[in-house]
Structure 1
Amino acid sequence: MDIVTLARFQFAMTTVFHFFFVPFSIGMGLVVAIMETLYVKTKNEKYRQLAKFWGNIFLLSFAVGVVTGIIQEFQFGMNWSDYSRFVGDIFGAPLAVEALLAFFMESTFLGLWIFTWDRVKPLTHVIFMWLVTIASILSAFWILTANSFMQHPVGYTLRNGRAEMTDFSALLTNHQVWYEFSHVIAAAITMGGMIAAGLAAFQLIKRKDPLMRAFFKKSMRVGLVITLLGSLAVLTAGDLQMKALIEEQPMKFAAMEGTYEDTGDPAAWTLIAWANEKEHSQVFGIKVPYVLSILSYGKPSGSIKGMNTVNQELIEEHGFKNYYPPVNTLFWSFRIMAGFGMLMLFVAVAGLFLTRKKKPILYEKKWMLWIMGLCTFAPFLANTAGWLVTELGRYPWTVYGLFTIKDSVSPNVSATSLLISNIVYFLLFSGLAITMIYLVKRELNKGPEIEGMIDSDQDSIDPFDKEAFTNE
């Protein structure tokens, strides 16, 4: 119950809850933009109804994301003021651009999109939604620019105990930005598609009306295609980011693999394991020969430094400290992230195959629909696990190699105030979560507006078949 632990818990709780909704809104915004684009291209009224219905879900995620984002901003001044003093000259610039440019652009065009249905041409209206989507992606870019400095500091000089910016362009060309950005946006795309497909599956379980079933079948197909594309992008981006860690954050990489001792050449991959973190040793592990070398270097040779070796190197560079991160958390978080990522890729491929026009058996098999529906929660778990790896793997640094967590905490906060604020935030976030779930469920139960919807027997065009892109 010390100050550092309570401050870390509060920031982690706020970040995790906020990050439930950041990729949710980015991904769902893209889903809505694609659906409305199909309407503009095909003039099929069903796609307009898709865009309006899923747009309501998107608006809910956006609203909760804004509330939690504001709370997170307060954290830097409340509990991490020494960190803010140290890095504020650098950290503040991208966050200011995010708020003054990307967020205002996003909120402005979102307002136009909400209030101009049937008041502007369909092409103009869909452009509003694409601008909202682009702005949300730009918002993520500027936030990740700030976070990437914490992972790999560049473009700065140390002066009077502070990190001061010397090259703004270096922040933008920091390769860590592009690893994180591509990974996060790909995960957001996957999340948007999976939520649309999963929630549609839940509706197909209980809906009997042919018009409603036709609507949610189309929703599922669009969602699965987007999930497939996003999952493939996540695999590529994640692989590149993981390989970059070998040189830049070798302790994080070794912890993700549960490797305390140097692996030797070739390196075996640990499938499952458990570590004795106090003794800095592995209690047990099941290893697969050659696989870690293949994953790390793209060939069946090459070794990886273990945590004990890396810790000694960090001691020689920075002084005597314990540089070991929470190994078991990182090891299993990485596998949860990768496991659910592969699950969503498999579900997307299988779902598209089982809903093909010739034999769409998935729609009639409740057990298959239940699997698809439960996968709605997979991107939330994968994204949360991924951020735990990203942030906890940097321990004990807030800015890697420059500033520690212990040095970052506000000097004037007390354990009592932190405990009380933790309880308040927990209750607030729980209330927001319950409200969000209730409102989403209400929107789903209400269903889409049926005006203009076509009969299910006529609804045979797949949204991504070539017929969908020819004007009637």
Structure 2
Amino acid sequence: MDALDVARWQFGVTTVYHFLFVPLTIGLSVLVAILQTMWHRTGNERYLKLTKFYGKLFLINFAMGVVTGIVQEFQFGMNWSDYSRFVGDIFGAPLAIEALVAFFLESTFIGLWIFGWDRLPKRAHLASIWAAAIGTNLSAYFILAANSFMQNPVGYRINPDSGRAELTDFPAVLTNKVALITFPHTLAGSFLVAGSLVVAVGLWHVIRNRDSADTGAYRFATKFGSWVVLVASAAVLFTGDIQGKIMTDVQPMKMAAAEGLYTTESPASFSVLTIGSLDGSREVFALKIPYLLSYLGTGDPNGTVHGINDLQAQYATQYGAGSYTPIIPVTYWSFRFMIAFGMAAGAIALLVLWSQRKGRTPSSKWLLRAGLAMPVLPLLANSFGWIFTEMGRQPWIVFGEMLTRNGVSRSVSLAEVLTSFTAFTLIYATLAVIEVKLLLRYAKAGVPDVSEEHPIDDTHDDAERPLAFAY
């Protein structure tokens, strides 16, 4: 074990941990805005209660996401300074815009939304949550644009004197075809997470508090969340199909590793189960679906998909001697876990809708247990998806331009990285306990009583009224 190994583990742990909060923040911001819009248009208190209820869960998650996200950028300078030096001219541009525009947009308007319930006109207050949701989604786009450069470098040149990558075409970076499909795929995964949380909390109250006066609100929440999950599941499959074709084009080794495809095939079969040799060089046993991989990778059932061994030989000739093969079991199984957990969440959503058909009230303990597992399933799917995305790119930190081993800070010792890794892991474990306890406490508390709340009258001047903290 050396500093490189620990630095990679640290970045992997902090990234996966941070991304547990990101999809929920992205999806829930929009769902809360939709619920408030429904209240604004109908005046139905049910939607106001749900807006404040899920808005509180959104704010808890947003705060935790901000805290954990700050650490990410520090690591570029601490553990990956050579990478930062090489790609900072390009990588820094979208991240700077994300911080200066998108993050300030969302944080400013979240503040207005929190304090403006009894202060701002209703339309202005509604606009503030939509602005916050737009800012949250813009943040995701700029960060994904930066990551997509690592997957498919565009809009740059290598300075022969400094050896650095220099930005030549910023619009090309923002319109990278990997970013253009990764963004909607990530959004779909985020709505899958957010919808699952809405279902889980609503279903718990429907089954456990059957005689509550707010049962109608919870029943609506479960149906609303279930439909969000089903639509998001379809969007994940559609965007994932396009993403697979682009991945085959720009990173053929990643597709081959995802399928355990060792030799080039035309047509290529999709692997349901493949067992390879211990050294990862050949296939021992495989259960496959003919033609499917060719269609998924190229759009043509008879298309050619290049194999691991052939690509390894090609890259060795193109880039020099060395291994250009990722860890096959990691890419193979993370790809399948991503799909399986996402599909499981969609199946439970269908079951929840079926249980409430024709006005029925669900009561099954097994359904409740399945519903409570729903938020975890898409979170696991998202996490395995990112593990696949990043591990499948290895050994490159910037595909075709910089190997991961060349990006680590040369002045940072093993002891220093190990110390920070241990400290961050312990802190994150503590924050995880706090996050879960807060979410459970406020989720169990149920929707708030809004009967005595009086939103501001748009026709009167309330300039002397103090700001009210809504939560």
Normalised to the residue count of structure 2, the TM-score between the two structures is 0.92
CA distance in 1, matches of 2:439, 2:446: 11
Query: What's the offset of the Cα at 1:231?
Result: 1.4
Q: 1:320 to 1:131 in 2, by over 3 A?
A: same
Query: What's the offset of the Cα at 1:304?
Result: 1.4
CA contact (8 A) 2:22 2:65 kept: yes
Q: 1:88 to 1:308 in 2, by over 3 A?
A: same
What is the match of residue 81 of structure 1? 81
Aligned partner of residue 434 in structure 1, secondary structure? helix
What is the match of residue 256 of structure 1? 258
CA distance in 2, matches of 1:325, 1:189: 30
CA distance in 2, matches of 1:298, 1:22: 32
What is the match of residue 463 of structure 1? none
CA distance in 1, matches of 2:409, 2:163: 16
Query: What's the offset of the Cα at 1:19?
Result: 0.6
What is the match of residue 164 of structure 1? 166
What is the match of residue 228 of structure 1? 230
CA distance in 1, matches of 2:215, 2:363: 11
* Pairwise CA RMSD: 1.5
Amino acid aligned to 2:428 = F
CA deviation profile, 1:414-444 (whole Å, cap 9, x unmatched) = 1111111111111011001000000011101
What is the match of residue 287 of structure 1? 288
What is the match of residue 278 of structure 1? 279
What is the match of residue 41 of structure 1? 41
What is the match of residue 204 of structure 2? 202
What is the match of residue 467 of structure 1? none
Query: What's the offset of the Cα at 1:279?
Result: 4.5
CA distance in 1, matches of 2:29, 2:19: 15
CA distance in 2, matches of 1:360, 1:239: 36
CA distance in 2, matches of 1:252, 1:279: 14
Structure 2 counterparts to residues 52-91 of structure 1, below 5 A? 52-91=52-91
Query: What's the offset of the Cα at 1:201?
Result: 2.2
Aligned partner of residue 273 in structure 1, secondary structure? strand
Which range moved further: 379-388 or 283-292?
A: 283-292
Query: What's the offset of the Cα at 1:452?
Result: 3.3
CA deviation profile, 1:390-409 (whole Å, cap 9, x unmatched) = 10111011110000111000
What is the match of residue 435 of structure 1? 434
Query: What's the offset of the Cα at 1:299?
Result: 4.4
2:177 to 175, 178, 182: 175
Does residue 384 of structure 1 match 2:383?
Answer: yes
Amino acid aligned to 1:304 = V
Aligned partner of residue 186 in structure 2, secondary structure? helix
CA distance in 2, matches of 1:314, 1:127: 52
CA distance in 2, matches of 1:313, 1:409: 26
What is the match of residue 305 of structure 2? 304
Does residue 247 of structure 1 match 2:249?
Answer: yes
Does residue 13 of structure 1 match 2:13?
Answer: yes
What is the match of residue 137 of structure 1? 137
Aligned partner of residue 374 in structure 2, secondary structure? helix
CA distance in 2, matches of 1:310, 1:285: 20
CA distance in 1, matches of 2:192, 2:157: 38
What is the match of residue 118 of structure 1? 118
Q: 1:244 to 1:30 in 2, by over 3 A?
A: same
CA contact (8 A) 2:280 2:328 kept: no
Amino acid aligned to 1:397 = W
Query: What's the offset of the Cα at 1:294?
Result: 3.1
CA distance in 1, matches of 2:403, 2:348: 41
Query: What's the offset of the Cα at 1:359?
Result: 4.3
CA distance in 2, matches of 1:409, 1:237: 33
Query: What's the offset of the Cα at 1:234?
Result: 1.1
CA contact (8 A) 2:194 2:375 kept: no
Structure 2 counterparts to residues 338-377 of structure 1, below 5 A? 338-356=339-357, 358-361=358-361, 363-377=362-376
CA deviation profile, 1:232-283 (whole Å, cap 9, x unmatched) = 11111111011111121010000001111122x3322110123335251223
Q: Percent identity?
A: 43
CA distance in 2, matches of 1:334, 1:123: 44
Normalised to the residue count of structure 1, the TM-score between the two structures is 0.92
What is the match of residue 445 of structure 1? 444
Amino acid aligned to 2:406 = D
CA distance in 2, matches of 1:127, 1:258: 49
CA contact (8 A) 2:245 2:299 kept: no
What is the match of residue 408 of structure 2? 409
Which range moved further: 393-402 or 276-285?
A: 276-285
CA distance in 1, matches of 2:350, 2:180: 27
Amino acid aligned to 1:70 = I
Listed as ranges, the gaps of 5+ residues in structure 1 are 454-472
Q: 1:251 to 1:452 in 2, by over 3 A?
A: same
What is the match of residue 419 of structure 2? 420
CA contact (8 A) 1:274 1:328 kept: no
Aligned partner of residue 211 in structure 1, secondary structure? coil
Number of residues paired by the alignment? 450
CA contact (8 A) 1:330 1:389 kept: yes
What is the match of residue 457 of structure 2? none
CA distance in 2, matches of 1:295, 1:247: 12
Query: What's the offset of the Cα at 1:374?
Result: 1.0
Amino acid aligned to 2:433 = I
Listed as ranges, the gaps of 5+ residues in structure 2 are 453-471
Amino acid aligned to 2:226 = L
CA distance in 1, matches of 2:283, 2:104: 50
CA contact (8 A) 1:200 1:373 kept: no
CA distance in 1, matches of 2:198, 2:225: 5
CA distance in 2, matches of 1:346, 1:378: 11
CA distance in 2, matches of 1:196, 1:51: 11
Aligned partner of residue 131 in structure 2, secondary structure? helix
